[in-house]
Structure 1
Amino acid sequence: MTYTHRSLRLAAATALVFIGLPATTAAADSGQCNFPGDTYKGRPWALQRVLLDELWKQSTGKGVQVAVIDTGVDTKNPQLKRAVDAKKGLNLLPAKNKKGEKIDRGASNGTTDTVGHGTKVAGIIAARPLKGTGVVGLAPAATIIPVKQNDAEGNGTAATLASAITKSVAAGADVINISQDTADAVEPAPALKQAVDAALGAGVVVVASAGNDGLGGNVKKTYPASYPGVLAVASSDRNNERAAFSQSGDFVGIAAPGVDMVTTVPGKGHCADNGTSFSAPYVAAVAALIKSKHEDWTQKQIVAQIQQTAERSTPGHDRLVGWGVVDPVRALTEDDKPIEQPVAHEGVTKGEVPTPAELQLGESAEERNSRMATYVVVGGGVLVASIAGGAVAFRDSKRRARRLGEG
Structure 2
Amino acid sequence: MVTRRLLAVSAATVLSVIGLPLSTASTASAEDSSPCTFPGKKYEGRPWSLQRVLMDQLWSQSTGKGVRVAVIDTGVDVKNPQLAKAVDAKSGVNLIPKDAKDANGNKLERGKENGTTDTVGHGSKVAGIIAARPAKGTGFVGLAPDATIIPVQQNDADGHGTAKTLADAIQYAIAKEADVINISQDTANAVEPTPLLKEAIDKALAREIVVVASAGNDGLGGNVKRTYPASYEGVLAVAASDRNNERAAFSQSGDFVGVAAPGVDMISTVPGGGHCADNGTSFSAPYVAGLAALIKAKHQGWTQAQIVAQIEQTAERSVAGHDRLVGWGVVDPVRALTEDDKPIEKPVAREGVTRAEAPTPATVHLGETPDQRAARLATYVVVGGGVLVAAIAGCAVAIRDSQRRNRRRAV
Q: TM-score range by the shorter chain?
A: 0.7 to 0.9
Please report the TM-score for the alignment, with normalisation by the length of structure 1: 0.84
Change (3 A) 1:352 1:244: same
Which residue of 35, 38, 42 maps to 1:39?
42
Letter in 1 for 2:69: V
Q: 3-state DSSP class of the match of 1:177?
A: strand
> 1:23, 1:273 within 8 Å by CA — same for their partners in 2?
no
Distance 1:312 1:166 in 2: 35
Q: Which runs of 4+ in 1 moved over 4 A?
A: 98-101, 346-350, 353-360, 367-371, 377-381
Q: 1:82 aligns with which of 67, 85, 100?
A: 85
Query: CA offsets, 1:257-300, max 9 Å, x none?
Result: 00000000000100000000000000000000000011100000
Letter in 2 for 1:372: R
The answer as to whether partners of 2:320 and 2:352 remain within 8 angstroms in 1 is: no
1:205-259 CA distance string (max 9 Å, x none): 0000000000000000000000000000000000000000000000000000000
User: Cα deviation per residue 1:380-402 (whole Å; 9 max; x = unaligned)?
Assistant: 49x97xx99xx9xxxxxxxxxxx
CA distance in structure 2 between the aligned counterparts of 1:346 and 1:290, rounded to whole angstroms: 23
- Take 1:39 and 1:374, find their aligned partners in 2: how far apart are those partners? 94
Q: How far apart are residue 351 of structure 1 and its match?
A: 3.4
TM-score, normalised to structure 2, is 0.83
SS, match of residue 150 in structure 1: coil
Give, in angstroms, the shift of residue 35 of structure 1: 1.4
Instruction: Give the corresponding residue for 1:64.
Output: 67
2:139 pairs with 1:134: yes
**Superposed CA offset, 1:325-374 (max 9, x none):** 000001001110000011101697653455566798x6477x94799379
> Quick one: distance in 2 between partners of 1:369 and 1:105?
103
Aligned equivalents of 2:141 and 2:307: distance in 1?
A: 23
Alignment coverage as a number of residue pairs: 368
| Aligned residue in 1 for 2:264 | 259
Q: 1:28 — aligned with what?
A: none
Q: Output the amino acid matched with 1:159.
A: K
Unaligned runs of 5+ in 2: 1-10, 24-33, 396-411
- Counterpart of 1:22, as a letter, is P
Contact 1:23-1:33 at 8 Å conserved across structures: no
Residues 374 and 230 from structure 1, CA distance in 2 versus in 1: closer, same or farther, beyond 3 angstroms? farther
SS state of the match for residue 79, structure 1? helix
2:170 to 133, 141, 165: 165
Tell me the SS of whatever aligns to 1:271: strand
Q: What pairs with 1:215-294 in structure 2 (closer than 5 Å)?
A: 215-294=220-299
Q: 1:188 to 1:364 in 2, by over 3 A?
A: farther
Q: Are 1:23 and 1:32, in contact at CA under 8 Å, matched by a contact in 2?
A: no
Separation in 1 of the partners of 2:145 and 2:133?
Answer: 5
Aligned to 1:372: 376
Residue 308 (structure 1) aligns with: 313
Deviation by residue 1:155-187 (Cα, 9 ceiling, x = unmatched): 100000000001101101000000010001011
Counterpart-to-counterpart distance in 1, 2:21 and 2:373: 81
- Alignment identity in percent? 73
**Is the CA contact 1:90–1:147 (under 8 Å) kept in the aligned structure 2?**
yes
User: Which amino acid in structure 2 is aligned with residue 75 of structure 1?
Assistant: V
Q: 1:36 to 1:370 in 2, by over 3 A?
A: farther
Q: CA deviation at 1:377?
A: 8.6
Give the Å deviation of 1:84.
0.1
Q: Post-superposition shift, 1:105?
A: 2.1
Q: Determine if the alignment matches structure 1 residue 212 to structure 2 residue 211.
A: no
State the distance in 2 between where 1:310 and 1:347 align: 15
User: Structure 1 CA distance, aligned partners of 2:116 and 2:21?
Assistant: 24
Q: Distance in 2 between matches of 1:326 and 1:123?
A: 18
Q: In the alignment, residue 351 of structure 1 is paired with which amino acid?
A: A
Q: Residue 212 of structure 2: SS of its match in structure 1?
A: strand
Shift of 1:376: 2.6
Please state how far the C-alpha of 1:33 moved relative to its aligned partner.
1.9
User: Are the equivalent residues in 2 in contact too, given 1:94–1:103 (CA < 8 A)?
Assistant: no
Per mean C-alpha deviation after superposition, the further-off stretch among 337-346 and 172-181 is: 337-346
Question: What SS does the corresponding residue of 1:58 show, helix, strand or coil?
Answer: coil
Q: Map 1:113-192 to 2 at 5 A.
A: 113-192=118-197
Q: CA RMSD in A?
A: 2.9
- Secondary structure, aligned partner of 2:346: coil
Alpha-carbon offset, residue 198 of structure 1: 0.4
